[in-house]
Structure 1
Amino acid sequence: MVQLGATGLVGSVSVVDLEKVGLDEAVLGWVGSNVKTEGRDLSGDDRRDDAVHPVIEEICSVGDAPFEDFHVKRVCAVRHLAVVEMDVVEEVAQIRDARNGQRHQNSGQVICVFTELSDEKDPKRASIFEYSWGSWLENDTVEKEKRRTEFSIKGLNDLLAQVVKPFEGTVLLPAAHNVSVLKDNVDLVKTGFSHIKQISSIHEGKHHRIYKLQLDHQQEELVLRVPYKLDSEVYTDRRIKSEAATMDFLAKKLGLNVPKVLAYSGVAENPVGTPFMLMEFKKGELLMRKWNPLIPGAVNEEKSKAELMSVISPIAEFNKKATDITFTHYGSLYFKEDGYEHIVDEPYVGETDESLKNRWVIGPTVEKAYYRNKDVEVAEIDKFVGPWTVEQPLRMVADLAQLELENVQKQGHDQAVPVYRKLGQVAEKLFDVESKTIPHMDALLAPRLALPDLDPMNVIVGDETWFIDFEGACIKPFLLSSYPKFVQYSGPKIFDLEADVEGYDKLDDVAKQQYEYMFCRTRNQFYWELALNETNKELLGVISPAVKLIKSAYLSALDAKTDKDYLYVENGLVELYTMWPHYESAAIVKGPNPLTFSEQELQAYETAFQDYQTELSSMPFAATGGWVPQDMFARLLEQKLLVEKNGSYTFDRDKLLQ
């Protein structure tokens, strides 16, 4: 925390102690290890990866056919197991932090130092910029430097002083070099402002850091959000511009509870010295404090259901309101005045409010997969990021496949090349867009907002409920969207532990905990689907097992982060290859099967996929990219379970096995 006195010259820095409450031992017991499957064969007919609860089957049972191919059955049975680690470590850490009041503020000892506002090089203020939420087993120094969020405090103060001055502009005001200010929101800085009184670091996230600003002459506080240096400059610029416009749209057009954006810049060449977003601060507690995903309770058991739905329902209601409106193109929202004056098409039809006409446009998508880890030139990327017309609802899948193909070819990842080539071949045939088999296909294909960061960590509950964090928001068919990550689950479905797990009562405690985890994830996703049924039956087709399987390769391509994640894409393609005849006969997919796999290809894929799962499951924290929550990292060092060498860390396996 940096406190600036009445003169704006003196202050203090808060250095936080990250020793927090330990993780749930029942969860930690199998971090970094594979989930065992004793007591039940998950590879044959007992496997319920494609099954749904009977209530859901009544709602939508499109094309639910059994698997018949040996390769698909055996590999899919273990698909989710090795990646459980990422879910567990990250989700439990977030829940714990939220319950300890930390979106927001790491608690601990406060060390006060003094610094002058104008002294940008003062080393005593460095701690407020340094990443401290976790450490990496490899390249720790490099990874933390990417997440260092240094900015000019004086430049920020000067910018705020400029905001209160009058400027000419319709929607955006040019308050400073490369900074856009929303004219409608300048009242967030009150008349009489002269300096920032206090700056507090209140949250270190996966993609950015959050600071709270207290200004003189006003009680209302502001939030400064600074992104980590993890993405290309082009993507950072587009993402910030689009998020600002999306938040403005949600508030102005749809009347949703979203903080007002005051100012933003997508480039570092501005007075603050870094890309940033400046918005109003909302007081309250995180909805995540109420989220208990592993709460005991059968499906539809009253008490546990009520507790889980108290978190799921408000998020589902918000998503319903955000997706009610349909657009004229697929892509992402931007302010027209933010460099998109050349786009003449209205983003949606029927606007009667003159103040909202020509305010927003639909430009290139900012869905992260189109920019992540790309070595191709920006001009090449721009060929594949839209915007797309409503007549091309599946073109974004084909463009992603082609972009990934060119990228892996340039990077020399030869094994991934045929996978993305196959995805491109099937992309625009994934669904028969004129099919009557899937109910309300037109509604499912209509351009709608997709909000990838819907999560209880991004919901603030105070006098009202406020939603934050809209990075990567895009406009796409609801048919191609994915569930929010906090309820997302693609593993074996277990709706009743006693009925679905043979010999459950005879299993040891560790094995029971593993099945209980699968059950809880199954139940929580089922409740999300129930919420969708309650809020928008017209879009309920997305819960169909057939729809989930058909788009699984595409969703895996969206989520691919490492060189070997193409194997998840291939897994989805092999599943689809096997099921295509069933879906073709049901008029769900378009035409004959465009996919081909030789027996040699299937065997090579199965071997590579299982080897990858073994690799992930045998290396602690492999699924998190080697990231370890800081409190756990400190304990592992203290217990000498981690050994440091040349700035990287390895586990002492002998001690682990003691």
Structure 2
Amino acid sequence: MIARWIMPAARTAFRQRRFVSTPKEVFTELSDENDPKRASIFEYSWGSWLENDVVEKEKRRTEFSIKGLNDLLAQVVKPFQGSVLLPVAHNVSVLKDNVDLVKTGFSHIKQISSIHEGKHHRIYKLQLDHQEDELVLRVPYKLDSEVYTDRRIKSEAATMDFLAKKLGLNVPRVLAYSSVAENPVGIPFMLMEFKKGELLMRKWNPLTPGSVNDEKSKTELMSVISPIAEFNKKVTDLTFTHYGSLYFKEDGFEHIVDEPYVGESEESLKNRWVIGPTVEKAYYRNKDVEAAEIDKFVGPWTVEQPLKMVADLAQLELENLQKQGHDQAVPVYKKLAQVAEKLFDVESKTIPHMDALLAPRLALPDLDPMNVIVGDETWFIDFEGACIKPFLLSSYPKFVQYSGPKIFDLEADVEDYDKLDDVAKQQYEYMFYRTRNQFYWELALNETNKELLGVISPAVKLIKSAYLSALDAKTEKDYLYVENGLVELYTMWPHYESAAIVKGPNPLTFSEQELQAYETAFQDYQTELSSMPFAATGGWVPQDMFARLLEQKLLVEKNGSYTFDRDKLLQ
């Protein structure tokens, strides 16, 4: 059924927030797809890159059809047949239970506001006629393969539906989504309800002064950590039948017959979701191998093989590196593949509640105060990359994650701390704050789920550090972090074997020459990173800072890239 275009001359207002404080408002005709005034609402404006700035910004250009979006919203209110997903438009899935997000009488979008330019996607707020409730349009940047974009959007929509319907958690309802660009909007997208409030991040000050268990600083930090830990507790309470990621069964996964979890009694939830291939990003990032080859290594995995996902990640990365000719990293991933399924003795009694730690549980990689909205209620957003895996193999949320030297008391743990200069003191203070904040996360875990407390063991952290580094590896030289984890494990393996934590004799071998080469390469990489401005952000600079650096002539442009004038920096 094709909806009649009710108001072909309807005007839509744009509000574009850049790094300036006053938003710019622009009006456009809904039917005029070629209106040049629209360009600013699609262009990336939140920062610039020191290298390949034009290319990077083009990847983050989010142009879409406003008329197509308007037509889609008009179609939503029409009657369609379907149980969970409605075939409202080509390659668009609409959640039947959520069509009430568009009220009867809708004719056009009144205003589109760009409200956030994130790492992976852009967020627009939509104001519709005939209703006060607003919608969010989330558009991913063109950073990933079509296969990964397809899977992660489908999986995220299903995961949000599961969190809301099965677990009853405060998650925005998804109205519609498309995982491919061939749709009326012209770009992959998700449409969901808008939730008003302030980001919990406004309360997060990780460097707030105060010793461990200092009442004032602890209260301040725990006011952010506790609600996230409590939400994560509810997410991880339910266990599943396989490892992988959630999808709607109707979304092309009708061939999967296994129920995702045991004991569903609600008829409307039976056969609603299934567990399919993982959408954990490491399995798709920077891959040159064919999609069919990737599919050999992305699950779903049976509950009897809790460490198979580690072996598959190592093997997939190994094949990819060999195809790319990245010879230096190949031996490292061969070692990871060799040790993967022996990392833990799955029958170990040394680690308490091993069965619970290995059980398939939902893992949310973007748990962060940036993704928590505090209003009349607290709402959680952004479930991209959610996957089902052992809690034993999960990482801490990035906002409290820390793998450096642990300092719990500056005076007691740092020799002659009071005699250090201010710069050295600041470095140790930073280590202390990171240690303290991670400790508070572990404290929250102890309060919410003691059964899973085994993950705080220093042995567990060291054993899985190479695997976690492989999950986070983004650049060509990040394999050195994987190797660092393997070298530490190689050294400690005999102790862990005698404690019955790992399985069997040490499978890792390093020659003296390999160890010397690793140590030199790792130190050189650390020196390289420390000497590169904005290395931690991949060369990305916030736009207000970038503008100041250009104005002060501290940045020099050449062939579309920028370098620092070191002479001026040292003046």
Q: Secondary structure of 2:548's match?
A: helix
| Structure 1 residue 230 displacement after superposition | 0.2
The answer to whether the 8 A contact 1:452-1:470 is kept is yes
For residues 551 and 484 of structure 1, the distance between their equivalents in structure 2, rounded to whole angstroms, comes to 16
How far has the Cα of 1:310 moved from its partner? 0.1
2:533 and 2:321 map into 1 onto residues whose CA distance is 27
Would the alpha carbon gap of residues 453 and 99 (structure 1) be closer, same or farther in structure 2, given more than 3 Å must change? Answer: farther
2:10 is the counterpart of 1:98: yes
Report how far residue 640 of structure 1 moved.
1.0
CA contact (8 A) 1:98 1:289 kept: no
Note closer, same or farther for the CA distance 1:636–1:137 as it changes in structure 2 (3 Å cut).
Answer: same
Change in CA separation of 1:481 and 1:218 when aligned onto 2, cut-off 3 Å: same
Decide whether the 8 Å contact of 2:366 with 2:384 is kept in 1: yes
Give the structure, 1 or 2, with the largest relative contact order (CA under 8 Å, sep 6 or more): 1
SS at match of 1:209: strand
1:116 deviates by 1.5
Alignment map for 1:403-442 (pairs within 5 Å)? 403-442=316-355
Indicate conservation of the 8 Å contact 2:11/2:27, yes or no.
no
- After superposition, the Cα gap between the structure-2 partners of 1:249 and 1:281, relative to the gap in structure 1 and judged at 3 Å, is same
Deviations 1:412-445 (A, max 9, x none): 0001111000000000000000010000000000
Cα distance between partner residues in 2 of 1:490 and 1:619: 21
Instruction: Determine if the alignment matches structure 1 residue 350 to structure 2 residue 263.
Output: yes
Which of 404, 428, 449 aligns to 1:515? It is: 428
- Once the two structures are superposed, what CA deviation does each residue of 1:20-74 show, in whole Å capped at 9, x if it has no partner? xxxxxxxxxxxxxxxxxxxxxxxxxxxxxxxxxxxxxxxxxxxxxxxxxxxxxxx
- Once the two structures are TM-superposed, the CA of residue 108 in structure 1 deviates from its matched residue by 3.5
- Per mean C-alpha deviation after superposition, the further-off stretch among 117-126 and 106-115 is 106-115
Give distance in 2, aligned partners of 1:566 and 1:574: 12
State the SS of the aligned residue for 1:101. Answer: strand
State the distance in 2 between where 1:103 and 1:561 align.
34
Contact 2:233 2:448 in 1 (8 A): yes
Deviation at 1:111, TM superposition (A): 7.1
Q: 2:19 aligns with which of 84, 101, 107?
A: 107
What SS is found at the alignment partner of 1:244?
helix
Q: Distance in 2 between matches of 1:609 and 1:379?
A: 34
**Distance in structure 2 (CA, Å) of the matches to 1:374 and 1:140:** 22
SS of 2:116's equivalent?
A: strand
Structure 2 CA distance, aligned partners of 1:314 and 1:523?
Answer: 18
Identify if the C-alpha distance between structure 1 residues 254 and 444 changes in structure 2 by more than 3 Å, giving closer, same or farther.
same
Using the TM superposition, give the Cα deviation of residue 625 of structure 1 relative to its aligned residue in structure 2, in angstroms.
1.3
Question: Take 2:450 and 2:8, find their aligned partners in 1: how far apart are those partners?
Answer: 35
Decide whether the 8 Å contact of 1:98 with 1:457 is kept in 2. Answer: no
Contact 2:351 2:454 in 1 (8 A): yes
TM-superposed CA distance for 1:96, in Å, is 41
Over residues 94-142 of structure 1, what are the superposed CA-to-partner deviations in whole Å (9 max), with x where a residue is unaligned?
A: 9999999999955646576432111111111100111111100010000
8 Å Cα contact 1:430-1:590 kept in structure 2: yes
Q: Distance in 2 between matches of 1:171 and 1:386?
A: 25
Retained in 2: the 8 A contact 1:98–1:286? no
Distance 1:341 1:93, change over 3 A: closer
User: How has the CA–CA distance of structure 1 residues 361 and 628 changed in structure 2, closer, same or farther, with 3 Å as cutoff?
Assistant: same
Q: Distance in 2 between matches of 1:410 and 1:108?
A: 45
Query: Aligned-pair RMSD on alpha carbons?
Result: 5.1
Where do 1:387-536 residues align within 5 Å? 387-536=300-449
Looking at structure 2, the residues matched to 99 and 507 of structure 1 have their Cα atoms a distance apart, in angstroms, of 64
Measured after TM superposition, the shift of residue 591 of structure 1 is 0.2
Q: Secondary structure at the match of 1:262?
A: strand
For 1:51, the equivalent position in structure 2 comes to: none
Secondary structure of the residue aligned to 1:483 is coil
CA distance in 2, matches of 1:366, 1:398: 16
Change in Cα spacing, 1:97 to 1:638, as seen in structure 2 (3 Å) is farther
Q: How far is the alpha carbon of 1:638 from its aligned partner?
A: 1.3
Contact 1:101 1:285 in 2 (8 A): no
Could you say if the C-alpha distance between residues 625 and 321 of structure 1 is closer, same or farther in structure 2, counting changes exceeding 3 Å?
A: same
1:379 aligned counterpart, secondary structure? helix
SS state of the match for residue 399, structure 2? helix
Contact 2:13/2:110 (CA < 8 Å) preserved in 1?
no
Change (3 A) 1:103 1:483: farther
Unaligned runs of 5+ in 1: 1-91
Shift of residue 469, structure 1, vs aligned partner: 0.1
Q: Unaligned regions of 5+ residues in structure 2, if any?
A: none
- Alpha-carbon contact 1:199-1:212 (below 8 Å) kept: yes
SS of 1:517 mapped into structure 2: helix
**Cα offset, 1:408, TM superposition:** 0.3
The one-character-per-residue Cα deviations of 1:597-626 (angstroms, maximum 9, x if unpaired) are 000000011111111111111111123211
- Return the alpha-carbon distance in structure 1 between the equivalents of residues 118 and 316 of structure 2: 28
SS in 2 for 1:326: coil
Q: Secondary structure at the match of 2:10?
A: helix
Q: Distance in 1 between matches of 2:426 and 2:8?
A: 20
In the superposition, relative to structure 1, how do residues 413 and 97 fare at CA in structure 2: closer, same or farther (>3 Å)? farther
Q: 1:586 to 1:486 in 2, by over 3 A?
A: same
TM-score by structure 1 length? 0.84
CA distance in 2, matches of 1:96, 1:518: 60
Aligned length: 567
Relative distance call for 1:97 and 1:392 in structure 2 (3 A) is farther
Q: How does 1:601-612 map to 2 (within 5 A)?
A: 601-612=514-525
Change (3 A) 1:300 1:463: same
2:8–2:30 CA contact under 8 A, matched in 1: no
Change (3 A) 1:531 1:200: same
* Cα deviations by residue, 1:373-430 (Å, 9 ceiling, x for unpaired): 0000000000000000000000000000000000000000001111000000000000
**Cα offsets for 1:567-609 (capped at 9, x unmatched):** 0000000000000000000000000000000000000111111
CA, structure 1 residues 213+93, in 2 after alignment: closer, same or farther (shift >3 Å)? closer
In the superposition, relative to structure 1, how do residues 644 and 101 fare at CA in structure 2: closer, same or farther (>3 Å)?
A: farther
The structure-2 alpha-carbon separation of the partners of 1:109 and 1:530, relative to structure 1 and needing over 3 Å to count, comes to closer
Instruction: Indicate if the aligned counterparts of 1:487 and 1:528 stay in contact, CA closer than 8 A.
Output: yes
Counterpart secondary structure, 1:650: strand
CA contact (8 A) 2:14 2:111 kept: no
Residues 440-465 of structure 1, C-alpha deviations (whole Å, 9 max, x = no match): 00000000000000000000000000
> Contact 1:99–1:288 (CA<8 Å) still a contact in 2?
no
CA distance in 1, matches of 2:11, 2:434: 21
Cα pair 1:449 1:473 within 8 Å, conserved: yes
What SS is found at the alignment partner of 1:564?
A: helix
Please give the per-residue CA displacement for 1:316-342, whole angstroms capped at 9, x wherever unaligned: 000000000000000000000000000
**Cα distance in 2 for residues equivalent to 1:93 and 1:157:** 11
TM-score, normalising length from structure 2? Answer: 0.96
- Which stretch shifts more, 139-148 or 638-647? 638-647
Aligned to 1:320: 233
CA shift in 2, pair 1:97/1:608, >3 Å: farther
CA distance in 2, matches of 1:486, 1:507: 28
Q: Say whether residues 1:223 and 2:136 are aligned partners.
A: yes
Secondary structure, aligned partner of 2:349: coil
Specify whether residues 282 and 240 from structure 1 end up closer, same or farther in structure 2 by C-alpha distance, changes over 3 A only: same
Distance 1:96 1:638 in 2: 45
